[in-house]
Structure 1
Amino acid sequence: MSKTTKTFSIAPDGVDPAKVPTRELWTGKKIPAIGLGTFGSDRFNMQDIADAVLGAIEVGFRHIDCASVYGNEDLIGNSLKIAMDGGIKREELWITSKVWNDKHDDVINSCKKSLKDLQLDYLDLYLIHWPFPNFHAPGCDVDSRSPDAKPYIHENYMKTWRQMEKLVEMGLVKHIGTSNMTIPKLKLVLRDAKIKPACNEMELHPHFQQQELFDYVRENNIVPIGFCPIGSPNRPDRDKTDKDTVDIEDPVVKKIAARLGVHPAVVCLKWAVQRGQIPIPFSVHRDKYLSNLKLTVENLLSEEDMAELSKIDKNCRLIKGHVFLWKDGQTWEDLWDMSGEITPP
């Protein structure tokens, strides 16, 4: 598919975007309560992902979650242009991107590159992808470590955040936010930020509910966006361990799915939407991303279902971040402030 051969039209079997629930940010702006992820790891063709973006917009998606490190923003930009040339107004879309670890000291140029690739004048949301300024792109060896790897250093992070704030002042970004953070880190950012984070993107699924962090961001008017919402069965092999659990095979999830006559993945996504986070499932298959969107406008789970699902949390983090460790002898827990103190400000 290319922008010269593909035409755009709203799919008759799609979902009216006006019926998709939203979450309100502290700015008063509303963000669609489900988005399409665009990280296909090493398992999907990048053009297929770009085609899925256009297909998702055709069926009613208006929230697309991108990142520079995914390496496909230029192709996604073609899809966005087709949609907008075909009648979708820019203000109807919510487009997120993220600055990668090796650009913490060059945020503005990184954002401008994403805007150029995405063929946009502004981003609705721009996130700091990871709080560590360590270069490792998807596909790298999990056992390797960047020679210039460093822990979270708050003074340095705030220098990056000041550039994020500048992007808002320049009109290149409407909202800024964090990703892969912890409560100790967020406390420092909230203390020192001039412009508070609008969102925090974090791993969230029934087997990893992060209740304390989830409650903390909501109490501070930060909207939680959840990646890996069904447990990411297609995540890169480097992120898999023998101890990982599988959400869609959980007996409770399967029982509820059987009663409703849906796939267990639908239960995971509906749990996320009804809980109050914004899931960003990924799929290049039309039937799946259309089904994902349709479920947001249907009342599927009862209060009893939600209560039962709240009890299956296994604290199973799937995306552990091994490659961002900064010294020998560490485990991934150090990245998440689980086995030591963060570097003080």
Structure 2
Amino acid sequence: MTAKSTMLTLNNGVEMPALGLGVFQSAPEETAASVTTALQDGYRLIDTAAAYGNEKEVGEGIRRSGVDRGEVFVTTKLWLSDYGYDATLRAFDTSLDNLGLDYLDLYLLHFAFPSAFDSTVAAYKAMEKLLADGRVRAIGVSNFSAGQLRDLIDRTDVVPAVNQVELHPYFIQRELRNVHANLGVVTQDWSPLGGVNLYWSAAPQAGQSPLEDPTVVKIAARYGKTPAQVVLRWHIEQGLSAIPKSVKAHRIAENSNIFDFALTADEVAAVDALDTGLRGGPDPDSIKADSFG
């Protein structure tokens, strides 16, 4: 299967697929098969994290797929308990061993510690060394607010290539995206279909899904597409990267079948208008060192 997805160029010239497979909440016993299925279906970006507990299975899925390692863009993230310079270097080695790889395409800080930012900076400086040593092709962050992002840039040398954040039609993060554009940071979207409102018990809009919104359903009918395909296309139209999660083969295939149509500017604006300004997941400015136990 040939690769699907348009490509985004990061601020260091590295190219990253705009569409990928996320494996947050994918059980280890389901992860390898879903990764293999996705790669054989044309995906070329796989996003995991040390905290997900499935890095080994991601590596296994890559090897099973038969797709050459050089064609697969692999991202993982550093967990909070491993922040600090030396701890980061050790954690990176562990993640690489778990994945069974000899380099990483993108390494991200999973969160910032607003009240313990020195450890965040130290971790990022270790990532800069990994980048300089050629052990990772790009570095970035996840779940950083605009203020946290600027603070990190002021204290380090390499502007993050990516900030991976919650972003979907009910929470479009326009202001943060504008900051990213000004800084040369790619916006990558977790929960791009709005599923966080279904699985995060504290979500203000718990139980509400953009995939059931009449605006999205109407556009989907117009194109003979599913609501999920319309929402993912909405991300792509705006130069964003989306990493939907699924362990079901038919959903994985459905989510990648979005490159044979395009939304009009009015349709993109109509989906934008669904924004509530309410995030479903944790607030980056409220994370504490003990937030996750």
Answer yes or no: same fold by TM over 0.5: yes
Instruction: Return closer, same or farther for 1:160/1:303 CA change in 2, 3 Å cut-off.
Output: same
Which among 70, 76, 93 is matched to residue 72 of structure 2?
93
Asked if 2 retains the 8 angstrom alpha-carbon contact of 1:130 and 1:179, the reply is: yes
How much identity, in percent, do the aligned residues show?
32
Structure-2 residue corresponding to 1:60: 42
Question: Where does the alignment leave 5 or more consecutive residues of structure 2 unmatched?
Answer: none
**Which one has a bigger Cα radius of gyration?**
1
- Per-residue CA deviation, residues 297-339 of structure 1 (Å, 9 max, x unaligned), is 22231121112112111112111259x6549xxxx9xxxxxxx
Q: 1:305 aligns with which of 262, 267, 274?
A: 267
TM superposition score normalised by structure 1: 0.78
Q: Secondary structure of 2:131's partner?
A: helix
Aligned residue identity for 2:278: C
Deviations 1:123-148 (A, max 9, x none): 0000000112xxxxxxxxxxxxxxxx
Matches of 2:20 and 2:59, distance apart in 1: 17
Q: Which residue is equivalent to 2:104? A: 123
Q: For 2:252, which of 268, 289, 292 is the aligned residue?
A: 289
CA distance in 1, matches of 2:126, 2:77: 13
Match of 1:247 among 179, 202, 210: 210
Deviation string for 1:214-253 (max 9, x for gaps)? 1111221111100000101685444444566421122211
Paired position in structure 2 for 1:207: 170
- Specify whether residues 205 and 171 from structure 1 end up closer, same or farther in structure 2 by C-alpha distance, changes over 3 A only: same
Give the CA RMSD over aligned residues.
Answer: 2.2
Give the TM-score of the pair, scaled to structure 2. Answer: 0.91
Residue correspondence of structure 1 range 141-152 to structure 2 within 5 A = 151-152=114-115
- Give, in angstroms, the shift of residue 270 of structure 1: 0.7
Corresponding residue of 1:21: 6
Q: Is the 8 A contact 1:177 1:197 kept in 2?
A: yes
User: Where in structure 2 are the equivalents of 1:67-216 lying within 5 Å?
Assistant: 67-83=49-65, 86=66, 88-105=67-84, 106-132=87-113, 151-216=114-179
Q: 1 CA distance for matches of 2:198 and 2:40?
A: 26
Preserved contact between residue 154 and residue 188 of structure 1 (Cα < 8 Å): no
| Residue 220 of structure 2 is aligned to residue 257 of structure 1 | yes
CA offset at residue 210 of structure 1? 0.4
Moved segments of 4+, more than 4 Å: 241-244, 324-327
Deviations 1:260-288 (A, max 9, x none): 22221111111001111100001111111
